[in-house]
Structures are given as structure tokens and as C-alpha cells.
Amino acid sequence: MTDYAKLFRLDGKHALVIGAGSGIGRESALALSAHGAQVTCADRDLAAAESTASTRDLTIAGELGAPDISAYQLDILDDDAIIRAAAELDPVDVLVFTAATNVRKRILDYTNDEFDRVVSLNLRASFQLIRAFGKQMAERGSGSIIGFSSIRGTTVEPGQSVYAATKAGLVQLLRTAAAELGPSGVRANAIAPGVVETPLTAQIKANPAWYDAYAQKGALSRWAQPSELAGAVVYLASDASSFVTGSVLAVDGGWTAVDGRFDPPN
């Protein structure tokens, strides 16, 4: 009989969170740890990763047998660094990657260097992470890969071309991973956030009209906090989603469900 009280527990699992130094990655790492996982907080900024690792509730961290949470410096634009991490770290049961960048420009204004920068981090690095850690998971016969797409993977606006293309591409990359690695017991899913207050969206928050327009687009009429994405990560990492793979979980406050910004009269 299934013990539903433990459905979301991650005891005995090792989760690697890429981009754990801030925003959604930081909250994901803390949530996974709170549910019993051993967590490695990986980030290009080691000090930021260490800050996340040291934030965990001291009463939890001090308990006998509490899972370990540690920091690891990792630049995912460096292929060799990814390969080295896969060899150095304890076997990874849950891979979460949140790191992304965006250059908000119209297509005709984009430079080749800007295109390469966005694609390299948002898509190519994801490809390398899936290959390095997915291979190990497949060899062990289990694992969960969780990547962060976006509402921009399905809905676009002017100035979001390359970012949107990478987020749509990531969905298809994860679906293919689900198809190829599924027979080996590995699941792969995407989370598609709406507007979330993170360092990546600081430019929008600084413009009140832009910020308010985005807030009103969703059904909940507000922005999300990074912590509101953590539940989706725990779900996809845990046995609660044991039959979920190749899926896109929208955590967007109803953004992609609501048609337009005008509320017509009855």
C-alpha cells in the first residue's frame, strides 16, 4: 500500500540544482532540502551558492541525520566543467537547472554575439547537462530531470524572439530526453513559469507601467515570488509524479489560460 504521507519526501535522494545562487534556483534548493534531499547548490557564483547552502533553517540542519546541503562552483558554459562535475559529485538522482539569460531586442536589432550568448546558456548548456547527468541516471535505472522553460515557450511578444525560441527548444529537448531515457527509468519534464520577481526581470520591475501590465495579464493579477515555483520542483522530483514525464507544468498564474487584457461587459 502506498504511504501517501511520504509521497513528496526525497529522503535518500541527491538533488543537483544549477543556478541555486539566486531566484528560483535558490528556493528550489531550499525546498528540496526541506523535503529530505541531499542538495548540491551549484552556481557560477560560488559565494551566492554558499549563501543558499547556509540559509537553511539551522534547527533542521542541526538535527541528527539531517540531509547535507553544500555549494559547488559550476560554469555551465564550460563543457569540461559539466563533465568534471558529473564525475566529482555524488550520483545525482534529481537534476534541476534554472540558469538563463535574455537580451530584449527586436529581431532586426539583434547581433550575432547576442544570439550566441542567449542560445549558449539557455539551450546548449541544457543539452550538455542532460547528456552528462542523464547518462548516469540511465545507467542506474532512475532519475528526474527538471528544466525551466517559460510562458515564452508558447506565447511571445516583440523583443523576445531568441529567448522564446530557446525556451520552446528546451521543451522539445526535454520531451526527447523523456522518450529516449524513459525505458531506463529516467523522467524529464519542464516547468513553465509566468512572470516571477527574479534578477532576470529586474528591468521590468523598474518600470511601473510595464510591471503592472504584466501583473494584470494573468488570472491572479500579480507577479509570482520565486518560492511559488518550489512546489512544482518538489512535485516533479518526488514519487508524487512517478508517472509524469515529457510534460510541461505551467506555473504562470493563469497567464496562458486568459485571453487578452480586456474584460468585456456582461
In a domain, 67, yes or no: yes
46-55, 158-167, 210-219, 237-246: range with lowest mean pLDDT = 210-219
Q: Which tens digit of pLDDT belongs to each residue from 176-199?
A: 999 999 999 999 999 999 999 988
Span 67-88, mean pLDDT?
A: 97
> What does pTM read for this prediction?
0.94
In a domain, 68, yes or no: yes
**Residue 9 predicted with pLDDT over 80:** yes
Report the pLDDT value the prediction gives residue 65, as an integer from 0 to 100: 56
Backbone φ, ψ for residue 17 (5° rounding): -110, 115
Paired residues of 39 in beta bridges: 15, 69
C-alpha cell at 208: 511601473
CATH of the domain at 102: 3.40.50.720
Could you list the residue range(s) of the whole structural domain that residue 149 is in? 9-251
In a domain, 216, yes or no: yes
Taking all residues of the chain, what is their mean pLDDT, rounded to a whole number? Answer: 93
In a domain, 258, yes or no: no
**Residue 243 predicted with pLDDT over 50:** yes
In a domain, 266, yes or no: no
Span 34-63, mean pLDDT?
A: 84
Distance, in Å, from the CA atom of 104 to the CA atom of 157, rounded to the nearest integer, reads: 10
- Contact criterion met (CB below 8 Å) for 75 and 50: no
214 noted as active-site residue:
no
Among residues 163, 211, 214, 235, the one annotated as catalytic is 163
Domain count, the chain: 1
- Contact criterion met (CB below 8 Å) for 86 and 132: yes
Report the pLDDT value the prediction gives residue 62, as an integer from 0 to 100: 47
**Residue 57 predicted with pLDDT over 80:** no
For every residue of 34-91, DSSP letters joined together read HTT-EEEEEESSHHHHHHHHHHS-HHHHTSTTPPPEEEEE--TT-HHHHHHHHHHSPP
In a domain, 265, yes or no: no
In a domain, 4, yes or no: no
Q: How far is CA 116 from CA 98, 102, 168, in A?
A: 18, 11, 16
Report the pLDDT value the prediction gives residue 199, as an integer from 0 to 100: 81
Q: Which tens digit of pLDDT belongs to each residue from 212-229?
A: 999 999 999 999 999 999
Q: Under the phi-then-psi rule, with left for phi > 0, alpha for psi from -120 to 50, and beta for the rest, what region is 30?
A: alpha
Report the pLDDT value the prediction gives residue 64, as an integer from 0 to 100: 46
In a domain, 57, yes or no: yes
**Residue 59 predicted with pLDDT over 60:** no
Q: Which tens digit of pLDDT belongs to each residue from 109-148?
A: 999 999 999 999 999 999 999 999 999 999 999 999 999 9
